[in-house]
Structures are given as structure tokens and as C-alpha cells.
Structure 1
Amino acid sequence: MNYDLVIFDCDGVLVDSERITSRVFCDMLAELGLELTQEEMFQRFVGQAMDRCLVIIEDALGRPAPDNFVPDLRARAAQALFEQVEPVPGVVDVLDRLPVPACVASAGERMKMQLTLGKTGLWSRFEGRIFSVEDVEHSKPAPDVYLLAASSQGVAPARCAVIEDSAAGVTAGVAAGMTVFAYTADVPADRLQAAGAHYLFDDMAELPALLGLPALATA
């Protein structure tokens, strides 16, 4: 294996949360008068920090979202995640096979990760090695959170593999000087490739071989 640290994004890579939260987000945007398909939702918002999402909403509506939008979104999304979130299929097998340390570096907030990683049993696998947008000055697509994760483990960026599923996250990993593996289950592969991804895959069973490990058996 050519890497000393594997850094995972959280939503859509470790936990199958993107479609759950995007459905809630779409419903709330529709209540404001902004109708989006789930594909449009993924293109505009996935991988963005909340402050950036609010700017996108204001640009689309021509007015700011109401003051209660974010707390209501968090509450409704948290309820949906608590009821529905599961690990991304195959990711637990990948984690079991890794011979090097792994971290989480997310554009999301720590409270949300405590819910999703905790509910799926993944929090304990990464405890003490979980980094969020709240830990850095600039969110993805800036490289800050990835550089923080690498420095915390004493690993040079060039020796890090990043597992991402959003264009903003791919851009961040590339800017950090890391090798980026883009998971394309939810976001079009050409979009992630255009963002600079070094490798593309649509099934977690493919990832070990890409990392230089034996491939997982598929059913």
C-alpha cells in the first residue's frame, strides 16, 4: 500500500446520509418556493458548508432564507437520519481491511457526525481522529480540514489517500496535495473527474484494490 493515512469524508462516503438529508432539504426549499430535483440538489449543495448553502439559496430566491431555516433543517434532518441512516454499503469491510490509520475530515458539523457515525457504530472506529468544518477557518473546497487531519497524525500530504464523493471535497483533497479517490454512487463521475479526482469508483468493493490491497469479493 502506497499510503500511510486514509482520510474519509463522512456524508455519502462513510454513512449513507446524502439522500436522506437532501430529501429534507428539497422539501424545505420547496416550502420557500424553490423547487429542485434531487439531481439539482446534489449538484448545487452536496459537499458545501451551511454558510455557503445559505448564499446559494439567497441567490436563487432573491432573498435570504428565514432565520428559522437552519435550526428547522437541522431538527428535521436529525430526525430523519436517526430513523434511517446506515453505513455506506461495503465501507465497514473496507475499514476492516485497512492496514494504516484512518481519519474523518468533513465539511459537516461535529454534532451531525456524532449522530450519523454514532448511530451506525462507526464513531468508535475514528474517535479522536474526527475533524469537522468547525475545526478550521475555511471549509471545502479549501484544503484546510484535510491538512489538519494529516498534520494531526504526523503524515505528509503526499502519503495520504482521500475518499470523497463531492466536487468541493475532491477539490479540497487535490489542493491539499493528496491522492483523491472519488466515490461516484450519487454524484456523476464526470463532475468529480473534472474537479480533479485521480481515481473513480462506484462500489466500495473496488476501493481496496485501488488502494493497493486485495479486492473485496462481490456477491
Structure 2
Amino acid sequence: MVPPKLVIFDCDGILVDTENLANRRLAEWLSAAGYPTSFEFCRKHYSGRSMASVQKDIEAQTEVRLGADFVDCWNAGLPDLFAHGVEEIPFVRDFIEAVRVAGIAYCVATSARISKMHITLGQTGLLPLFEHAMFSSTMVARGKPFPDLFLHAAETMGFSPDDCIVIEDSVAGTQAGIAAGMRVFSYHGDAYSDRDGLIRAGGIPFDDMRSLAGLVPIN
């Protein structure tokens, strides 16, 4: 396997442990808005998705209307939600450091807004490692599972898709990376991860960040 020239990290669930916090609140919000659902459903179906795409899907499939201010209200509540309890994914810092020492370019590309990344990466001390290259789905027309975000990140960083790898944890993100023509390594270290879904989407599965250096040729 040829070493990558660019490593694209997802943020939530790959760099920082936020998916459970976010999806518990999302289930509460959606249920209160008239779309009864559970944490487990949200965790499986909405992880890795932008709130704009979640709202679009729900309103396209049901008669529920979440309101024009749904996304803005959600984002306004993130500082409080992530004020405490956000931790970095175990051992991911070691892999980032290995990539950096090898002289391989890297960035973060996520469905979340840049402001959210500043909160979550800031909480864990990872922000200084990624401030040089942060990409959000707000920068492109279509979020995950479409390839736009990863293609935008690669183009901006100056690399072709086949020179890039993506580190993801969601089915939507894995689908986006594969659609972009990139190799995708899909992390399922969380108890709620959809390992089978990640594999069906085309990802190379792994469940421990310590094993990633053995899967990705970076030396």
C-alpha cells in the first residue's frame, strides 16, 4: 500500500469523543419537536451528519417541521453542551504525532462548523495541531455522505484524491470518502459504532487507534 500524501481526519468520534453527548441531546430535541426518537437511533443514523442535513431529511420524510431557527439554536447550545466532559479519542494523539513526524500533510474535515471544532478541539488541547487546516461542511454545497467536503479539503491542500486517506467513524463519512475516491479507514472503537455498516460502505475497519499506524504506511 502506497503511503498517503494527505491524511484527512474527521473530528467528532475520531479526534474527540462527542458523539454520545451530541446524540443524546439531539434525541431529546427531536422528540420534543414532535419527532419521537431515541439516542440509539440518532447515534446510528445521524452521527457524522450536519444538523442542516438531519433537518432536511426529517422534513422531507415526515410532516414534522423543526423550524427555521433549528440549526442556529442547536449551534448556540454547543458551548454549554461541550463545556465539560469532552475527551480526545484514546491514542489518536500518538497517530497524529507519527503522521507529523513522517512529514505527511494532514487536516481535519467535518460536518461540524469551525466554531464547534474550536470548542471541542480546544477542550482537549488538540486545537493547535489542526488550526492550520480546518474544513467544515459549511464550506461546500453538500455534506456527507456526498464527497464534496473531502474533495474540497484535498484540492485546497493541493493533493489529488488518490493521494489521500480519510480517518472516519461514521457510515456517512465513510461513504463520502469512498465517493471521493479516497481510501477510508473506519474506526469502530465505540460501543455504538456500526461496524457492519462501515464495512458495507467500503471502509477498512479498525477498533483501536494504536493499530492504525500498522494499517497506514506512514514511514
Aligned to 2:180: 176
Deviation for aligned residue 1:137: 1.9
Structure 2 CA distance, aligned partners of 1:103 and 1:130?
6
1:189 maps to 195
Once the two structures are TM-superposed, the CA of residue 59 in structure 1 deviates from its matched residue by 4.8
SS in structure 1 at match of 2:198: helix
Q: Retained in 2: the 8 A contact 1:47–1:107?
A: yes
How far apart are 1:191 and its partner, in Å? 0.6
- Which residue matches 2:57? 56
Shift of 1:95: 0.9
Taking the TM superposition and a 5 Å limit, the aligned residue runs for 1:24-39 are 24-39=25-40
Partner letter of residue 214 of structure 2?
Answer: A
CA 1:152–1:60 in structure 2 vs 1: closer, same or farther (change >3 Å)? closer
Deviations 1:61-81 (A, max 9, x none): 522013443333223333121
Structure 2 counterpart of 1:93, one-letter code: D
CA distance in 2, matches of 1:55, 1:97: 39
Out of 185, 191, 214, the position equivalent to 1:209 is: 214
Which of 188, 200, 204 matches 2:205? 200
CA contact (8 A) 1:24 1:77 kept: no
Cα pair 1:24 1:73 within 8 Å, conserved: no
Deviation at 1:60, TM superposition (A): 6.1
Identical aligned residues as a percent: 38
Letter in 2 for 1:107: S
The two structures, once aligned, show a CA RMSD in angstroms of: 1.9
Would the alpha carbon gap of residues 127 and 116 (structure 1) be closer, same or farther in structure 2, given more than 3 Å must change?
Answer: same
**Paired residue for 2:18?**
17
SS for the counterpart of 2:175 is helix
Alpha carbons of 1:207 and 1:74: their partners in 2 closer, same or farther (altered >3 Å)? same
- Equivalent-residue separation in structure 2 for 1:35 and 1:90 (angstroms): 36
| Match of residue 43 from structure 2 | 42
Q: Tell me the secondary structure at the aligned position of residue 181 of structure 2.
A: coil
Unaligned runs of 5+ in 2: none
Cross-structure match for 2:153: 149
Distance in 2, matches of 1:125 and 1:20, equals: 23
Aligned residues: 213
Conserved? CA contact 1:8–1:105, under 8 Å: yes
Q: Structure 1 residues 67, 7: CA separation in 2 closer, same or farther (over 3 Å shift)?
A: same
State how 1:11-160 maps to structure 2 within 5 Å.
11-59=12-60, 62-98=63-99, 99=102, 100-160=104-164
C-alpha separation in 2, matches of 1:193 and 1:14: 20
Q: Contact 1:164–1:170 (CA<8 Å) still a contact in 2?
A: yes
Amino acid at match of 2:200: A
* TM-score (norm: length of structure 2): 0.89
**TM-score, normalised relative to structure 1:** 0.89
